[in-house]
Amino acid sequence: MIAEHVRDLAATAVIFGFFASSWFGWAQEAPPRRWRAFLAAGSITSILTAIAGGLLTWRHWNDGTAFDEDTSRAFGIVVAIEFGAAALGSVLLAVRRRSDLISVWIAFVVGVHLFPVAVLIGYPMIHVVAALITVASLVAIPIARARKLTVSAVVGAPTGLILLAGALFSVISAAVNGS
């Protein structure tokens, strides 16, 4: 379930930790009052995990990595497609006056783009994160409607939690395997 290279584990913790904090932040748009402390704790924990991952990445910077010229190019293409799809869908939703659904669209795109990323860097755990985020995006609208909650809270909280779990798994794996 872990990547071959400690540096890749640590860098994943940085990226997932940073974006987890962003998703917890997005969920704070208009959450139920009782969620606020959880969302704030999630944001803080995510940033601390990203910092720990950053320190481990720095420590293992000269170690091996899955990224070579071909992998880096393919990764860039995957990320460009992700950003393009996210931007295009967001613009279309805004034009259609459905800005409330942008968070769900972005979560869906993020989830789907993580499948090829997992393959590119040889890190199977990312498949789990990808699947869970994709599912969270697909069920967010019906859950939000049924419970009269904002869509951003319903998709942001679980997406943040999933990314935080992936970041914690990665930083712990990097710490254990990098000793």
DSSP letter at 90 equals: H
Please state, as a whole number, how many other Cβ atoms lie within 10 Å of the Cβ of residue 155: 30
Mean pLDDT of 133-148: 98
> Which residue, chain included where needed, has tokens 């710490």?
175
Q: Could you tell me the sign of the dihedral formed by the alpha carbons of 101, 133, 44, 60, in that order? A: negative
Q: Over pLDDT 90: what percentage of the chain?
A: 97
In the prediction, which pLDDT does 1 show? 78
CA distance 45 to 42: 5
Name the pLDDT band for 2 (thresholds 50, 70, 90).
Answer: confident
List pLDDT tens digits, range 27-66. Answer: 999 999 999 999 999 999 999 999 999 999 999 999 999 9
- Average pLDDT value over all residues in the chain: 97
